[in-house]
Amino acid sequence: MDAEVAIVGCGPAGGIAAKVLSEKGFSVLAIDRKKKIGYPIQCGEAISAAGLKNNGIKISSEWLKKKHKGGKIFVPNGKFFLSLVNFLSIDRAKFDQSLIKEAVDNGCKLFLRTNVSKVKKKNEIWLVRTNRGILKSKILIGADGSESNVAKQIGVLKHKEVIRAIQYKFRDLDFLDDGFLYMYLNEKFKNGYAWVFPRGDEFNVGVGGIGNIKLWLDKFCKKMGFKMEKRKSVGGGLLPKKIILESFEKSSALIVGDAAGLTNPLFGGGIHAALFSGRLAAETICKSLELGDLSRLKEYDRKIKNSSFTSPLLHKVSEIFYSLKNEEYNFIGEVFNGKNWKNVSYFNIFKKFLIKPKFFLKLIDFWTLKRGIELSERLV
């Protein structure tokens, strides 16, 4: 046997799992198909300060790009409402690398440029077939993203829907930076939105959704006055919209992060969920190995299912939110009108519905949205 734990994927979920396990002295293999951890970047690169604190990660100047006051969410008529979460823009590649470096410093063996073609359990040992031979471990962690082969091969994947995201990095944009992240809602971005994330010396500008998002992003950039000659790079990838697993643990294999569909379906953020699930998986494994009882790994499945990250409310709110038409988004803008959405009372919301009774049938959906946004803010 090569190690006690093999981890497929070295993003935030796999990285924090490798870090926690190696710190406890367990033997770990971290496997990734990339040439360099974190590249290409497939992320808006933002997380809340609470998301880091909740997972025991101290902010480092090595990967912190900018601190933000919160987010401004714009509707098509130009109005907006505020989400006063303490967002951080990070250098995602350096962040991922920092987690893996800590693991490697504690004895984790790192395999880059290593493609996993098959995983199979035989005689209580996981066999991980790669282009560099077969690696063996007692326990397996699938942290291989929304296109996870591990979840599929161990037989827990029941349903999968993904959306695409494309992002441009710009330098020196003539764009007002007042300390906020900017998100733009429009019915044409089916199941997604556009964003502008100021990051000090650069801007991340992207679109996520279903359809010709490259076309939408180019049109969005033109509308906002972003000049393509100032574009530094292009990135993107697939994001989970709705991934349903029969179980998050099976036969000593645990699925974490995007592979487990834990990305926030409302705002698309996945770093907090990845850190939470990777850390929880590692802590459960530590306890199981210390007690010599791998049946305790099932606790991971129970704890994930009982967590806010798998709340049915998140998917319900996402379905409501992204089914709205532009006139309904505009109505939301009128209701909150530049305010922190938390500071608008239910009574004042009700009065707005009385003024525009054609939206009255959406009142129950609106209450649901308000509850869902509150939950989502705790998970970004």
Share of the chain above pLDDT 90, in %: 81
pLDDT tens-place string over residues 104-160: 999 999 999 999 999 999 999 999 999 999 999 999 999 999 989 999 999 999 999
pLDDT band at 182 (very low <50, low <70, confident <90, very high): very high
Question: Which stretch of 33-42, 101-110, 320-329, 349-358 has the lowest confidence by average pLDDT?
Answer: 349-358
Reply yes or no on whether the pLDDT at 52 is more than 90. yes
Burial (CB < 10 A; 0-12, 13-18, 19+), residue 32, is buried
Question: Which stretch of 21-35, 109-123, 346-360 has the lowest confidence by average pLDDT?
Answer: 346-360
pLDDT band at 99 (very low <50, low <70, confident <90, very high): very high
For the entire predicted model, the pTM comes to 0.95
In degrees, rounded to 5, the angle at the alpha carbon of residue 316 between the alpha carbons of residues 312 and 322 is 145
pLDDT tens-place string over residues 37-48: 999 888 889 999
pLDDT band at 336 (very low <50, low <70, confident <90, very high): very high
How far is the C-alpha of 266 from the C-alpha of 70, rounded, in Å?
16
Superfamily grouping for domain 3-45+91-156+246-310: FAD/NAD(P)-binding domain (3.50.50.60)
How many helices (H) and strands (E) are present in the chain, helices listed first? 11, 18
Domain positions in the chain: 3-45+91-156+246-310, 163-239
Residue 205: phi, psi to the nearest 5? -130, 120
163-239 shares the fold of 3-45+91-156+246-310: no
How far is the C-alpha of 259 from the C-alpha of 51, rounded, in Å?
19
Residue 103: phi, psi to the nearest 5? -65, -45
163-239 to CATH, choices 3.40.640.10, 3.40.718.10, 3.30.9.10, 3.40.50.620: 3.30.9.10
